[in-house]
Amino acid sequence: MSTPVSPSDWRAAGRWRWPEGLLWLLAFALPALWPGHALIVNEIAIVALFAVSLDLVLGYTGIVTLGHAAFLGFGAYCAALFAKHIHPDPVLGLAVGVVAATLLGALCSLTILRGSDLTRLMVTLGVALLLLELANKLDGLTGGSDGLQGVVMGPVLGRFEFDLYGQTAAWYSLSVLLLLFALARRWVHSPWGATLMAVRDNPLRAAAIGISVPQRLAAVYTLAAGVAGAAGALLAQTTGFASLDVFALERSADAVLMLVIGGVGWLYGGVLGAVVFKLLHDLISAWTPQYWTFWMGLFLVVLMLVGRERLSPARWWRARGEGA
Amino acid sequence: MTLLFDGIAYGMLLFILAVGLSVTMGLMNFINLAHGAFAMVGGYITVVLMQRWDLPFLLCLPVAFAGAALLGAALERTLYRPMYRKPHLDQVLFSIGLAFMAVAAVDYAMGSQQQIIQLPEWLRGRTELWDGALGMGHYRLFIIVVCALLTLVLQWVLTRTRFGSRLRASVDDARVAAGLGIPVNRVFALTFAVGSGLAGLGGALGAEVLGLDPTFPLKFMVYFLIVVAVGGTSSVTGPLLAALLLGLADVAGKYYVPKLGAFIVYALMIALLMWRPQGLFVRKGAR
């Protein structure tokens, strides 16, 4: 992380390579090859998008947050409400979710500009809990603890109906993931993205060379909120349902865990972590449904004691000079 | 008045639960999200002792303290110590992992239902003063008295004893303190154990008021953190005032506007932290 990178290398690292293309092709082929597993592909695509969004905040800018689910949930509820009361078109609903979450992110970015890690942790957590309480209490609008039911989606782009096996849903989510992933990649590999990392590594020095630290923090927080909102909107649209657990602490904690598994400060880290995490989750909860949090906790503790840098796949990738 | 009284009792309880956390954070700059697990251990020790072996309630409290303290000391030596030098993100993940493990383990061992503590006869009644203007539950009065005594003892230990001055020196600057020959590691281990013990005691006392089930550490984690974040980590009085404020706000909020629930507390916390990011009561010159 601390090895100096020349500007041309840095930009070159942002270029696409053919193995990645293969990887994405494979991802898009999966729902067709195994229609029975399309639902889990869909889920993985959504949490991967959420983890990528968290990576922008946590990995690239170093803002410690345990409340990123606030934006996921807000996007989910906005998209679900839009579909239920205004218009069932998914793409339009997605846009509404993104815009709403971006606005919320802009508002919340005011809260994370000052203070230590602990203060930020508390404030981000507080925002998520605040929204959870709101969604719980405004039961006329959100359905309270029963969740928001009866969301019926129209066909994607007016052509592709959502089917029972989730193939359409999987392709829809994968497309949005690919689009936003490419965008996020453009951001972090621009000069602007490099200043984010400068802020992460040393805010004082970053400010001294003329980077406006509060402005960078606010901007990245807002952008990431929008991406998380997209993930939330996808979640609500493909399941036809929005419930209180989208705001839960577990959501945020899971996303942080995914990032840590895949590698922080590396966009594929979020995607890789999401794949590993979801598969592990399925495996363990099939084996012991009630106590799987124990194994997840144990995994976290061991991972932290051993040191996450030592296990991170990002290191192997970077060692070959192919950092994404 | 009754509301005020209940709020104070609640606040005192939160203070006892959270004070250990505030010291660990102040001393080693360590974010420990698993603090609630120690409180839960204390609560469950009390439940088991009272239900299975019929021990009297008063005898259970010191046992809960000792049990949680021992567990705290053991974990500090084995697991926590290597984590001190790691970045905050690692600490957060590590301790939340511990909390998840505690939740699942207790769920496995004790079942997920709410545990009930049978209070002794003399703590169950309720006294009305001034024609019911002030209704005091005896148990809440007991909590206030116990917690007030503990606070005084803590304050005395911190300001008047040799151990207290060593601890304060280590909080201010661990490196200089170590240079002066203070065994910072041992001071810290002891403090961690006492802090965990106090949490255990708080859990035992609070089992009746707060409710005790396996999700306790996660449910109240936020409250402990609020106390510490708002109260600052450099004194006993800061967290005490913050805990009282939080207790009053929560009880009053839930009574007057039940529709909003915990909303008020969270909003208050965010507002306070935006206004004073380092906490409300911070000594000048502290880091």
User: Which residues does chain A have within 8 Å of residue B274's beta carbon, measured at their own beta carbons?
Assistant: 110-111, 114, 123
User: Which residues does chain A have within 8 Å of residue B229's beta carbon, measured at their own beta carbons?
Assistant: 118-119, 122
CB contact under 8 A, A129 and B103: no
Of A126, A290, A298, the CB nearest to B270: A126
* Closest CA in chain A for residue B227: A122
Dump pLDDT digits (tens) for B214-257.
777 777 787 888 888 777 766 777 788 888 888 888 777 777 77
How many separate helices (H) and strands (E) can be counted in chain B?
Answer: 11, 2
User: Which residues does chain A have within 8 Å of residue B79's beta carbon, measured at their own beta carbons?
Assistant: 301, 305
Domains for chain B: give ranges and CATH numbers: 2-275 (1.10.3470)
The structure tokens listed for A100 are: 């709403």
The answer to whether B280 faces chain A, any CB pair under 8 Å, is no
Alpha helices in B211-281, H assignment, sequence order: 216-231, 237-256, 263-275
* Distance of residue B24 Cα from the nearest chain A Cα, in angstroms: 13
* Closest CA in chain A for residue B89: A64
CB contact under 8 A, B88 and A117: yes
The 3-class secondary structure across A39-52, one letter per residue, is HHHHHHHHHHHHHH
Dump pLDDT digits (tens) for A165-187.
777 888 888 888 989 988 888 88
Q: Best mutation site among B28, B30, B92, B98 for testing chain A: the one with the most A CBs within 10 Å? A: B92
* Distance of residue A296 Cα from the nearest chain B Cα, in angstroms: 7
Q: Are B140 and B5 in contact (CB under 8 A)?
A: yes
Region of A210 please: left (phi>0), alpha (psi -120 to 50) or beta: left
Q: Best mutation site among A284, A301, A308 for testing chain B: the one with the most B CBs within 10 Å? A: A301
Other Cβ atoms less than 10 A from the Cβ of A285: the count is: 15
* Distance of residue A110 Cα from the nearest chain B Cα, in angstroms: 9
> CA A258, CA A256: separation in Å to the nearest integer?
5
> CA A230, CA A239: separation in Å to the nearest integer?
14
Predicted confidence at residue A87, as pLDDT, reads 79
Query: Residue A129's closest CA among A2, A228, A250, A14?
Result: A250
> CA A54, CA A64: separation in Å to the nearest integer?
10
Q: A190-204, A272-286, B103-117, B119-133 — which is least confidently predicted? A: B119-133
Q: If 0-12 CB within 10 Å is exposed, 13-18 middle and 19+ buried, where does residue B128 land?
A: exposed
What residues have CB less than 8 Å from B138, skipping those under 6 apart? Answer: B122, B123, B124, B125, B126, B127
Residue A58 is given by DSSP the state I
Predicted confidence at residue A320, as pLDDT, reads 47
Dump pLDDT digits (tens) for A203-254.
888 888 888 888 888 889 999 999 999 999 988 888 877 888 888 887 888 8
Q: pTM for this one?
A: 0.81
Global ipTM: 0.74
The structure tokens listed for B185 are: 């590691």
Q: Are B204 and B43 in contact (CB under 8 A)?
A: yes
Question: What is the widest separation between alpha-carbon atoms in chain B?
Answer: 61
Q: How many CB pairs under 8 A join A and B?
A: 130
Dump pLDDT digits (tens) for B72-109.
888 887 777 777 777 777 888 888 888 888 888 877 77
Q: What percent of chain A has pLDDT over 90?
A: 8
The answer to whether A300 faces chain B, any CB pair under 8 Å, is yes
The answer to whether B258 faces chain A, any CB pair under 8 Å, is no
The answer to whether B74 faces chain A, any CB pair under 8 Å, is no
Q: Are B264 and A131 in contact (CB under 8 A)?
A: no
The answer to whether B218 faces chain A, any CB pair under 8 Å, is yes
Q: Are A287 and B91 in contact (CB under 8 A)?
A: no
* Distance of residue A301 Cα from the nearest chain B Cα, in angstroms: 5
The answer to whether B180 faces chain A, any CB pair under 8 Å, is no
> CA A297, CA A221: separation in Å to the nearest integer?
28
Query: Residue B199's closest CA among B9, B1, B55, B15?
Result: B15
User: Which residues does chain A have within 8 Å of residue B222's beta carbon, measured at their own beta carbons?
Assistant: 125-126, 129
Predicted confidence at residue A311, as pLDDT, reads 55
* Closest CA in chain A for residue B105: A294
Q: If 0-12 CB within 10 Å is exposed, 13-18 middle and 19+ buried, where does residue B149 land?
A: exposed
* Distance of residue A51 Cα from the nearest chain B Cα, in angstroms: 15
Interface list for A 76-135 with B (CB within 8 A): 110-111, 114-119, 121-123, 125-127, 129-130, 133-134
3-state secondary structure of B56: coil
Interface list for A 271-290 with B (CB within 8 A): 290
* H/E stretch holding B128: strand B126-129
Predicted confidence at residue A322, as pLDDT, reads 43
Alpha helices in A143-202, H assignment, sequence order: 167-188, 191-201
Dump pLDDT digits (tens) for B2-22.
777 778 888 888 888 888 788
Dump pLDDT digits (tens) for B24-74.
777 667 778 888 888 888 888 888 887 777 777 777 788 888 888 888 888
3-state secondary structure of B127: strand
Q: A39-43, A87-91, A224-228, A291-295 — which is least confidently predicted? A: A291-295
User: Which residues does chain B have within 8 Å of residue A293's beta carbon, measured at their own beta carbons?
Assistant: 100-101, 103-104
